[in-house]
A and B are shown apart, each in its own frame.
Chain A
Amino acid sequence: MNTSTVLQHRSYINEGYGLKSWLITHDHKRIALLYLISITLFFFVGSMAAAMIRLELATPSGDLVSAETYNKLFTMHGVIMVWFFLIPSIPAVLGNFLVPLMIGARDLAFPRLNLASWYLYTLGGGFTIGALIAGGVDTGWTFYTPYSSMFSNSYVVAVIVGVFIVGFSSIFTGINFIVTIHKMRAPGLTWFRLPLFIWANYATSVILVMATPVLAMTLSLVAIERILQIGIFDPALGGDPLLFQHLFWFYSHPAVYIMVLPAMGVASEIITCFSRNPIFGYRFMAYAILGIAVIGFLVWGHHMFVSGQSMYAGMMFSLLSFLVAIPSAVKVFNWTATLYNGTISFEAPMLYGLGFVGLFMIGGLTGLFLASLALDVHLTDTYFVIAHFHYIMVGGAVMAYFGGIHFWWPKMSGRIYPENWGRFSAIVIFLGFNLTFFPQFLLGYLGMPRRYHQYPEELQWLNEISSAGAVLLAVGYLLPLLYLLWSLRYGRIADSNPWKAKGLEWQALSPPIRDNFEDTPVVKEKAYAYIPEH
């Protein structure tokens, strides 16, 4: 034991030792850390596939991997990143850790169900990784029929089983959050005193429980169809492939909001804290979250503008898709207004938070291009789409996830990470991300289609910039892994509220005790009662 010493108080971390005390724990904070470990592993598996993809695309000819392997690589990247990283990341790690703390509860409403969620997540991940090792899948993460159900010569059923199982993990987490937020708030914590992170997780949970069963059943139908060779979705057998797309996107479009709403919650917490200003238009921020969740359910058809659905359906879905921009813009404007006249300090979480707002804005604005019927016909299935959803999902959700990990790291670990390294990695990720994905907007506009492992030579320079950016991005992702692990042992001991923030979670010790609070806190003021310093 050098510089730093043992933790001073009994906390959830040193309450029990040994692997067993972690694997059978009912403590939401420990389960959050279990998720943190497994999700980090999946993140690196998915990133490896992305690295291979960018490496292949550094040259115009398909010289690194065959077309078939390339198909398996982007499928693996998509499946792992969507279901095993982006969807569970913020809710399962930060949400699990923070929801009870932020509302002053001792634990989630159903702790055993919570542990079961993690086991289902791991089991589903095992199935998926197993299938990928056995030979992989080449359908793309969308499993479009009839290719996936009749023709693909790969491990479709095994991956579907994996996704099905992890779906139940999401549903259980969602039920747990909804019940906890409804029934277990501390005295005085009314709905409109809740932190926006709680609102965001609440809305996300509603989407999770409403959308995930649809995906589970749809993919089961694909699996049964594949085994028995009967085609509900195969037109050759009398089925309807459009039906599959409707059902699939009924889940998968709201899934985008499963990824981005919690990210918005994190950004709200960070931005208000580091500008020492109460969040601007709190009520509207909460309504906007709910608005996004509701409208998010009505726009799935914009994925099918070129699929042969009726023109009127296309027009309706286009209109509704534009509508989502309104609550999204409300959020961006209100973050900006919160910054205005604030006393801003640029700590690492704040850099991530501001990076989130910038990247989310670019992603959101390019979404308007894709929501426009006529423009979408030109841009469908090009790299423009790839760039757009990476700006939302990686630029948005991953930035916020990293920001949240930094922001609450002292609470989770009881240690402070080296601040300058944190700032440095935030900047590297921001630059690396833009270098990787901005050229892809241009590539897409010039007509480079997605999911091809070779391309015309005149597009090489843009692809080279993109691949170089991916290297920078990889460095940016590795840095936090190193210095955060370093801080676990050598970091300064954190006091309970290092950022002087206002949420209930900062009233608990760092790291919190098993029951979170010595006495149930009583809430007497509204959320974000910061006093502006001017």
Chain B
Amino acid sequence: MTDKHALTAEQFDDPEQEHEASTLGMWVFLGTEVLFFGVLFASYAVLRFNYPEAFAEASRHTNILLGTVNTAILLTSSLTMALAIRSAQLSKHKLTAGFLLLTILLGILFLGIKGVEYYGEYEKQLVPGLNFAYEGDNAQSIKLFFYLYFIMTGVHAIHVILGIGTLAVIAVMAWREWFSSDYFTPVELVGLYWHFVDIIWIFLYPFLYLVSRG
């Protein structure tokens, strides 16, 4: 392990301090992310309170089948992510890279299905600002629902894309045997981020797809 000390940045005394600092930094960053999405959830709550019927009507136009499949895919990707961290801790380099790759593929699959959904909504002329042409009494408020729908899922998708990019870097590092039972902080931090992205979706799914069905 010749690299071990080179991996500790100069401002830290030891790897343990670096691990603690990086982890705390990631948690604080995720805290800011919660508040970032908090604005969208607050806006959703206010408008849903103002227009309960319109929002119920609008949510029935989302594609629940694809939304549910996507939820399952994202949850599975959190599992493979957790397995990647575990195998990094056990110094199993190739296995780590494999699980990371699997996580990336599931992320890409999620984005692909999201794209199919978006295309469906485009065809049904439900995209505000582009081709929104819904008829009916509640058209105005339904437009607001879809505005929020696209912003919320869009911001989430940007997070998935950034996550995939970071995972790719980490996967290459894992393949080159950077991580071991002594040093796996980056894998763990990306894992935290990925679970966060997953959790946000766990809130988006019922709000946008489920609430008024049944």
A263 to B13, CA, bound (A): 31
- The answer to whether B122 has its CB under 8 Å from any CB of chain A is no
- The answer to whether B3 has its CB under 8 Å from any CB of chain A is no
| Proximity bits, B20-55, A CB within 8 Å = 1, else 0 | 111011001101110111111011001100110000
Which residue from B17, B22, B36, B50 sits with its C-beta under 8 Å from A213?
B36
Whether the pair B42, A247 counts as a contact (CB closer than 8 A) is: yes
Residues of A within 8 A of B163 (CB): none
Whether the pair B35, A230 counts as a contact (CB closer than 8 A) is: no
How many A-B residue pairs lie within 8 Å, measured between CB atoms? 109
Whether the pair A109, B128 counts as a contact (CB closer than 8 A) is: no
**What's the minimum C-beta distance from B32 to chain A, rounded to whole angstroms?**
5
Residues of B within 8 A of A171 (CB): 29, 32
Which residue from B31, B128, B147 sits with its C-beta under 8 Å from A209?
B31
Whether the pair B47, A240 counts as a contact (CB closer than 8 A) is: yes
Which residue from A111, A230, A247 sits with its C-beta under 8 Å from B144?
A230
Total number of B residues with any Cβ neighbor in A under 8 Å? 37
- The answer to whether A216 has its CB under 8 Å from any CB of chain B is yes
Residues of B within 8 A of A239 (CB): 47, 144
**What's the minimum C-beta distance from A425 to chain B, rounded to whole angstroms?**
36
| Cβ < 8 Å to A, chain B residues 128-153 | 128-129, 140-141, 143-144, 147-148, 151
Residues of A within 8 A of B129 (CB): 227-230
Whether A183 touches B21, Cβ cut-off 8 Å, given contacts A210-B32, A238-B140, is yes
- The answer to whether B2 has its CB under 8 Å from any CB of chain A is no
A239 to B39, CA, bound (A): 15
Whether the pair A232, B43 counts as a contact (CB closer than 8 A) is: yes
Whether the pair A183, B10 counts as a contact (CB closer than 8 A) is: no
A41 to B77, CA, bound (A): 48
Whether the pair B39, A214 counts as a contact (CB closer than 8 A) is: yes
**What's the minimum C-beta distance from B142 to chain A, rounded to whole angstroms?**
10
Residues of B within 8 A of A (CB): 9-13, 17, 20-22, 24-25, 28-29, 31-33, 35-40, 42-43, 46-47, 50-51, 128-129, 140-141, 143-144, 147-148, 151
Residues of A within 8 A of B (CB): 105-111, 171, 174-176, 178-180, 182-184, 209-214, 216-218, 221, 224, 227-232, 237-240, 243, 246-247, 520
Q: Closest 8 CB pairs between A and B?
A: A228-B129, A217-B39, A107-B11, A213-B36, A213-B35, A183-B21, A109-B21, A179-B25
A sample of 5 cross-chain residue pairs with beta-carbon separation below 8 angstroms, ordered by A number, consists of A214-B36, A217-B37, A221-B43, A232-B47, A247-B39
